[in-house]
Amino acid sequence: MKKLVFLALSFLIVVSCKKKSEEPESRILADSSGNINQLSVIVDNSLWEGQVGDALRDNLAAPVEGLPQEEPLFSLSQIPPETFTGFVRRSRIFIKIEKGKDSLAIIKDEYATPQTGIIISGENQQQIIDRINASSDSIIDVLKATEIKEKQRRIGKSPESDEELEKAFGVSMKFPTAYRYAAQEDNFIWIRKEIPKGLMEILVYQVPLNTIDKDSSVIGNIVKMRDSIGEKYIPGPVEGSYMITEEAYAPYLFETKIDGHFAYETRGTWEVNNAYMAGPFVNYAIRDEKNNRYIIAEGFIFRPASSKRDHVFELDAILKSLKFDSN
């Protein structure tokens, strides 16, 4: 399904960007602005307050998968079309609703850079709603890719040394200097960042291919792998306790690519057996057939009773920056 979405998006981007390439390249664009995952929605007040607004909120402010509390995919900020001028146009990601022929277009760097805009048109409200519902997955993928790239750009301004990862696994990964190496053992590295009211953690290790590929129960094998690592390396506050995958609900499993390598993406909740601790995690099992292994890159958070979306997003951006020394 993701492959089909990618192909459809590629076509849309080619069509939209073609018009850009035909324009003179003399314009000097301002830097875009906005918090990560802050999405400007340019739409008439009447549409925003009605069913069109409901469709936008239902799709673009839907709960993020894998978080223990509901938090929206994007923080939406509605802007009436007549006020979408000047500095307001510098929003890094925006969606604009227009009346016209049924269409969806992706525009890049129209008013600022980097910037991604989605233009949705329809001859009536129902046509606009149908277009939003039919294209929501594609829209989310495009906007999230823009935000990941921006987060990685910000991280790259002050990167910590990844020399230990290079030596241990032959991979590089960009993470900021706010993180420090918390533990290093054979085939296992633990990286940590302290935040108000909690901790952000990154684990990198490797396992043989047959750890995950030994049978058809991929998610079950990933859970067993995570739990064994938790028992060995991630102790809890009570003697004999350690981190495990939450037992009440199965994690979400997706297929993706990291640095051109096939990867399993797992999202869910971790907990500590015999202790009241829990939080979200995102795990990438990246296949390295050349070396008969999976590189496991995981991020998890402990921040009770506080928002976690943007912290998970930061971990996601870091994990997706992983690259192999030689492909």
Domain coordinates of the chain in residue numbers? 2-155, 163-324
CB atoms within 10 A of CB 253: 15
Note whether 307 and 161 are within 8 A (CB): no
List, for residues 179-209, the tens digit of each pLDDT value: 999 999 989 999 999 999 899 999 999 999 9
Model pTM score: 0.89
Q: What is the average per-residue pLDDT within 261-290?
A: 96
Name the band, by pLDDT with cuts 50, 70 and 90, for residue 4: very low
Closest by CA to 186, choosing from 201, 204, 198, 200, is 204
| 4: CB partners within 8 A, 6+ apart | none
> Which pLDDT belongs to residue 214?
84
Q: How confident is the model at residue 20 (pLDDT cuts 50, 70, 90)?
A: very low
Q: Is 33 helix (H, G, I), strand (E, B) or coil?
A: strand
Query: What average pLDDT does the segment 60-82 reach?
Result: 96
Judge whether residue 139 has pLDDT over 70: yes
For the domain made up of 2-155, give the CATH fold.
Chitobiase; domain 2 (3.30.379)
* 163-324 CATH fold: Protein Transport Mog1p; Chain A (3.40.1000)
Q: How confident is residue 70, by pLDDT bands cut at 50, 70 and 90?
A: very high
Confidence at residue 145, expressed as pLDDT on a 0 to 100 scale: 97
Q: Do domains 2-155 and 163-324 have the same CATH topology?
A: no
Find, among 93, 135, 136, the residue nearest to 111 by Cα. 93
